Amino acid sequence: MWRETRVKRTIGAVVAAAVMAVSAGCDGLGPLGSDAGAPEEAPKTHIVLMSRDGCELLEDITPVQEYLGVTAIRGDGLMSSDYAAQETPSCQGMFDLAAWNDSDRHRGDATVSVSVTTRYTAEEVAGEYRSMIDQLTQGPSPIELEGAQEGEVAGEWDESYFIAGELSDSYHVYLFARYDHWVLRVNLDVSPDPGVAEYERDPERYPDSSAEQMAAYPFTMPELLEWATTEYAPQTQQSILDLFAMSEKASG
């Protein structure tokens, strides 16, 4: 786990295109929006979520970094939403992963984006949830993943959906899960395992080895999908629910 630069943040930074740009007011670092027609008093869950920077709320996406085996954070560090600007809570970053044969020429990388979208009413949040998925799967340029897998996310969600597969020589996981007044969104973009890629490029060069033996990552792509949908998402949900409970207790 990379710890020295993990906590560096660019608060309110404009997200680079490589960090999966998303619509303002829907996800990522865009403003929340006007909430036109919303009740005068926001629900407590909305207030709690919108009172924290994204990387604070999402614990610097440390569980993802640890699972991927991050060796360094690229650029200026993690990019966090800014609660003072009323931005949708999010935490994003680009990472170096393990290298095959300790060679930077054969080093993996990943882009991770996690956000929590909240609105005043469950109906508004349900609309945001559907819009996120529609933009990805039915928009002007719908995602087309090779070997796509779809399903529901583990945990006590009102509704959830994930789709994962290969695109442009990378493995992508898109995860959406709605609960009460908020939606968890997780985007993972992971380059191929450099050791596996090297073996598959010229297996005759390594007659005494195999793709599994030469793997540099501590996970396979199917294992990554399983972890994201059955462990990370439920654990993140529980962390947020615990935060609500602590806030409720503190307020008396």
**How do residues 28-55 score in pLDDT, each as one tens digit?**
434 444 444 444 577 889 999 999 999 9
pLDDT of residue 226: 98
Taking the chain, what is the end-to-end CA distance rounded to the nearest angstrom?
38
Average pLDDT over residues 213-231: 97
Instruction: Kindly tell me if the per-residue pLDDT of 215 is higher than 50.
Output: yes
pLDDT of residue 114: 98
pLDDT of residue 168: 87
**Is the model's pTM score more than 0.85?**
no
- The per-residue pLDDT for range 147-202, each reduced to its tens digit, is 999 999 999 999 999 999 999 889 999 999 999 999 999 999 999 999 999 999 99
Average pLDDT, the chain: 85
Under DSSP, is residue 167 helix (H, G, I), strand (E, B) or coil? strand
Instruction: Kindly tell me if the per-residue pLDDT of 121 is higher than 70.
Output: yes
What does the domain layout of the chain look like in residue ranges?
A: 9-250
Tokens 């972890």, residue located: 227
Average pLDDT over residues 83-112: 90
214 or 16, greater pLDDT: 214
Q: Counting beta carbons within 10 angstroms of the beta carbon of residue 141, is it exposed (0 to 12), middle (13 to 18) or buried (19 or more)?
A: exposed
pLDDT of residue 21: 33
**How many angstroms separate the CA atoms of 178 and 122, rounded?**
9
Instruction: Kindly tell me if the per-residue pLDDT of 24 is higher than 90.
Output: no
pLDDT of residue 218: 96
Average pLDDT over residues 201-217: 94
pLDDT of residue 252: 63
Return phi, psi of residue 219, to 5°: -155, 160
pLDDT of residue 30: 40
pLDDT of residue 40: 53
pLDDT of residue 209: 95
Average pLDDT over residues 61-72: 98
Average pLDDT over residues 57-75: 97
Neighbours of 58 (CB within 10 A): 27
Close Cβ partners of 46 (under 8 Å, ≥ 6 residues apart):
118, 119, 120, 181, 182
Query: 139: pLDDT confidence band, cut at 50, 70 and 90?
Result: confident
